[in-house]
Structure 1
Amino acid sequence: MSSQSESVQLSVTALTAEVAALFADAGLSSAGAQRIAGALIEAEQQGLKSHGLMHAPVYLERMRKGSVSTHDRAEMVSDHGAVAVLDARHMLGHLAAEQAMALAIEKASRFGIGAVAVRHGFHFGAAGRYVAQAAQAGMVGIAMSNTRPLMPAPGGAEAVVGNNPIAIAIPTADEPMVVVDVAMSEGALGRIRHHHQRGEPIPGNWAVTAEGLPTTSAADAIKGLLLPTGGPKGFALAMAIDMACGLLSGGAVGSEINALYGDTSKPNDCAFLFLALNPQAFGADDLPQRARAQREHIRKARRAPNTAAIRTPGEMKWRTAATQQETVQIDRSTLTALRACAIPIDTLAVSHGGERP
């Protein structure tokens, strides 16, 4: 965890405006810049630093090199009742994902279910953001994405599938909603990069070196292979997610996807799949109330010794965000990288502090 000396407290309003200015300067529309800034800072507010502002510099670098486009709307490829396919045209993944889930929600309100696949995508941050979008509309949401290969098959010695995330959200009658957001490795690459950025070791079960040797070095892990959670089970899920996203969308799969931090002149080219399920179409109008009751039943279950509390999926993000509505703690290393991006346009909250003691 960041100590006070390793992080600074910034105004959310000022930081959002200045991060948006960075993206607008890179050619994104004003509305699109506000949306991506809000998405990245929301991750910081939720404590998801590995999905937040640490990625802004590479996003901006890619936009300037042209491997991420300045589009803020994906194009419709096909639209058949409850199902649609979008072409993100290599735009910022957060914007394409928001649009796709909004379309899935709209279709679910008409047909009971909505399914939207997206091709030519780009890193979209935390998948939980988009299923929460569905749950806030009263829908059950499912989201997944493929990524470039990072994990070997059981018994293999080369990466063949990505650390592909899947998220599911269940609407509840009150907060916190149930939001499951998991990738298929023991430790997500974004978390490993965050450890590397801070000069911290990683747990020994997260990755192996390029030679297949155990490691606690974040730098060696980035060059090596991630280990699937649950062994063959995690690998199998990652493989299924890769195929569902890439093949249904007509997009890339496996080694056709490029690394986020690799050759930044090449499009990332990942693919997404979003589903929204309307409880009313299932005759489950009371789903939010029943979901709340089940959530509370689980939270009040008998605890093991020395356990402070039982938390349900998504609860810690919700609690953390509740404490960072007006100001947010940002790692100094992230702030340094943002300041380097901000130098050409002299943004205030980033370049000149915007810091709260």
Structure 2
Amino acid sequence: MTTQDSGIKSEGFIYVFPDSALIFVESILGAYGVPTENAAVIAKCLIEADLRGVDTHGINRIPSYLARIREGVLDPKASPELFQITPVVAQIDGHNSFGFLSAYVGMARAIEMAREFGIGMVSVKNSNHFGMAASFVLQAIEADMMSLVFTNSSPALPVWGSAEKLMGVSPIACGAPAGKTKAFVLDMAPSVAARGKIYKALRRGEKIPVDWALDGEGRPTEDPESALKGVMLPIGGPKGSGLAIMMDVFSGVLSGSAFAGHVTSPHDASGSPAHVGHFIVAIKPDLFMGLEAFKERMDYLYQRVVGSAKREGVERVFYPGEIEDLCREERVRSGVPFVVEEVEGLNREAEKVGVEGLRVEVKTDR
């Protein structure tokens, strides 16, 4: 096993460790004028996504964000501004800053309100893509809070019965703390697969499952490039479509941000500011019983779920968020896997601003 400089080529995967990734992301964002404290929040969220196996929302997103900065459609120096509406409701104007910042500040304020009043709700407008929604659910869990995290996003999904891209593949996320077992963390898109998985397949030259998307002619496709020209398929037909519309209602309509197909894609550097909206709620779990009693009940729920009878061919029943937790444990030890092309793409971005590239490991024992 050898540690080498970035740009190295090897068969299989290259591995990047969290500390190296944090330094890389914070340095490259700083070179674009992102304030130090803001860069730290963004880097933590991106790397947490990679550690949890949500590679579609990790540091490979950096090139698309930087392209939007260079074209003047994302403001690297901006910070969100918070307005208190009622004792339990606040609004944030993201001022076209990174979405991670608005969601982080929003959840922090929601938690503060929930501690005092039992619940806190924050609506966010004029934001951008905020990465893995679970980042902010985990932020609430660390504070012993339940949470809901919604966002809307750029058109990728047709409403049921239509062939037109109108709704976003917008995640719905929620969570609750537990005691001795795993916390409940649900983070899911209303589509069969997140759109980022198609971009990941395109980067890696891989095919996609035929039930993920339709091409521009409305035909099922295994080709990620053709899929990006077409539409994503909703989970459960009209049910997934309904969830996507719900995300637009709570995140876009309510906040005063863009909605109904008018959010700009984070992959579009030639467009306008994204005007993404978010909706964030924190709930104090010991409103009706003691916190320890609540956690004991959550532990019991966990044990009932993972201990339920397995159907044929299933080795283990997992709780929502558990697979990601196990992935994180492994990747903290062994590093996050990237293909050569992904590392080289990130390092080309570093070269543009004179920042040191990613430190990587080639593991000959794999």
Could you state the TM-score of these two structures normalised by the residue count of structure 2?
Answer: 0.92
Q: Does 1:319 align with 2:335?
A: no
User: One-letter code of the match for 2:344?
Assistant: T
CA distance in 2, matches of 1:164, 1:43: 16
Equivalent positions of 1:201-216 (< 5 A) are 201-216=207-222
Report the Cα offset of residue 209 of structure 1: 1.2
- Consecutive aligned runs of 4 or more in structure 1 exceeding 4 Å deviation: none
Q: Does the 8 A contact of 2:45 with 2:132 survive in 1?
A: no
Equivalent positions of 1:1-357 (< 5 A) are 5-71=11-77, 73-283=79-289, 285=291, 286-325=293-332, 327-350=335-358, 353-357=359-363
CA distance in 1, matches of 2:108, 2:195: 28
Q: Does the 8 A contact of 1:46 with 1:320 survive in 2?
A: yes
User: One-letter code of the match for 1:341?
Assistant: E
Q: Does the 8 A contact of 2:13 with 2:362 survive in 1?
A: no
Q: Does the 8 A contact of 2:12 with 2:339 survive in 1?
A: yes
* CA deviation map 1:81-109 (0-9, x unaligned): 10111001111111211111111111111
Report the Cα offset of residue 317 of structure 1: 0.8
CA distance in 2, matches of 1:84, 1:148: 25
Report % sequence identity. Answer: 30
User: One-letter code of the match for 2:345?
Assistant: A
Moved more, 82-91 or 35-44: 35-44
User: One-letter code of the match for 1:246?
Assistant: G
Q: Does the 8 A contact of 2:264 with 2:271 survive in 1?
A: no
CA distance in 2, matches of 1:79, 1:356: 52
* CA deviation map 1:289-342 (0-9, x unaligned): 110111011111121233211111100111111122253323322211111101
Q: Secondary structure at the match of 1:117?
A: strand
Report the Cα offset of residue 23 of structure 1: 0.4
Report the Cα offset of residue 72 of structure 1: 5.5
CA distance in 2, matches of 1:31, 1:131: 20
Q: Secondary structure at the match of 1:125?
A: coil
Structure 2 runs not aligned, ≥5 long: 1-9
Q: Secondary structure at the match of 1:343?
A: helix
Q: Secondary structure at the match of 2:309?
A: coil
* CA deviation map 1:108-140 (0-9, x unaligned): 111110000100110111111111111221111
User: One-letter code of the match for 2:287?
Assistant: A
Report the Cα offset of residue 27 of structure 1: 0.7
RMSD: 1.6
User: One-letter code of the match for 2:356?
Assistant: L
Structure 1 runs not aligned, ≥5 long: none
Report the Cα offset of residue 265 of structure 1: 4.5
CA distance in 1, matches of 2:344, 2:357: 12
CA distance in 2, matches of 1:23, 1:325: 23
CA distance in 1, matches of 2:222, 2:336: 29
Q: Secondary structure at the match of 1:194?
A: helix
Residues 185 and 320 of structure 1, relative CA distance in 2, 3 Å threshold: same
CA distance in 2, matches of 1:189, 1:82: 34
* CA deviation map 1:188-216 (0-9, x unaligned): 11011111111111111111112211111
Residues 234 and 349 of structure 1, relative CA distance in 2, 3 Å threshold: same
Q: Secondary structure at the match of 2:331?
A: coil
Could you state the TM-score of these two structures normalised by the residue count of structure 1?
Answer: 0.94
Q: Secondary structure at the match of 1:28?
A: coil
Moved more, 189-198 or 324-333: 324-333
Q: Does the 8 A contact of 1:348 with 1:354 survive in 2?
A: no
Q: Secondary structure at the match of 1:196?
A: helix
Report the Cα offset of residue 270 of structure 1: 0.9
Which residue number in structure 1 is paired with residue 4 of structure 2? Answer: none
Report the Cα offset of residue 175 of structure 1: 4.6
Q: Does the 8 A contact of 1:53 with 1:334 survive in 2?
A: no
